Structure 1
Amino acid sequence: MKLLICIIDNVFADGVEKQLKQQGYRMTELASSGGFWRKGNTTFLFGVEEVDVPDLKRALHSACLNIEKNKQLKTKQAHRYTSFLIDVKDAVPILGFNNDLN
């Protein structure tokens, strides 16, 4: 099992969420702010089997392109989102879970 952390520009967030839910993907959405891209963004967490990662990445890319086309956006940025893929077992410290439940 893998955890895909996807930080996406707010311009794309609602559309990506809607399109990926329609395709059956489940996600957790975190509102985020700060200096990652120096603008508003949303962070999505996807739990996905390793064999399904390429399909999820294609779905993310396709959703962003559809949004650009429908909203007639001419994006100046090179990337629509940034994603990090990690093993779920390695995500435990990142997510704040503690194995010591004393």
Structure 2
Amino acid sequence: MKLLVCIIDNVYRDAVESRLKKQGYRMTELASSGGFWKKGNTTFLFGIEEKDIQQLQDELKSICVELEKKKQRKSKQAHRYTSFLLDVKDAAPFIGLGN
């Protein structure tokens, strides 16, 4: 089991949440701001099996690209989102379980 931490621009938040929930992905959503991408971000935490990682990453990219085409908008940033993949056993301290 892996933990995918995805920090995404709020422009994409609703589309990501809606589409991935419809597809059965379970996620925790955290409003976030600060030094990483400044304001206007949401952090999603996904618990995912290793075999499904590439599919989730492809789906995230697809959602963002489709939204940009629909709204005729280009991303203002070099990246639409940034993600980190952790082994669940390594993520325990990160989410406060290893104390």
Instruction: Work out the percentage of aligned pairs sharing the same amino acid.
Output: 70
Shift of 1:39: 2.3
Match of 2:37 in 1: 37
For structure 2, which runs of at least 5 residues remain unmatched after alignment?
Answer: none
1:6 matched to 2:6? The reply is yes
SS for the counterpart of 2:93 is helix
SS for the counterpart of 2:34 is coil
Q: Which amino acid aligns with 1:67?
A: L
Match of 1:27 in 2: 27
Match of 2:16 in 1: 16
Q: Can you list the C-alpha shifts for 1:62-92, whole angstroms capped at 9, x where unaligned?
A: 0111111112212232210000000000000
Which structure has greater strand proportion? Answer: 2
What TM-score do you get using the length of structure 1 for normalisation? 0.91
Q: Can you list the C-alpha shifts for 1:35-61, whole angstroms capped at 9, x where unaligned?
A: 211221000000000010000000000
Match of 1:75 in 2: 75
Q: Which amino acid aligns with 2:35?
A: G
Q: Which amino acid aligns with 2:64?
A: C
For structure 1, which runs of at least 5 residues remain unmatched after alignment?
Answer: none
Q: Can you list the C-alpha shifts for 1:14-51, whole angstroms capped at 9, x where unaligned?
A: 11111111111111100111121122100000000001
SS for the counterpart of 1:40 is strand
> Which shows bigger deviation, 12-21 or 80-89?
12-21
CA RMSD of aligned residues (A): 1.0
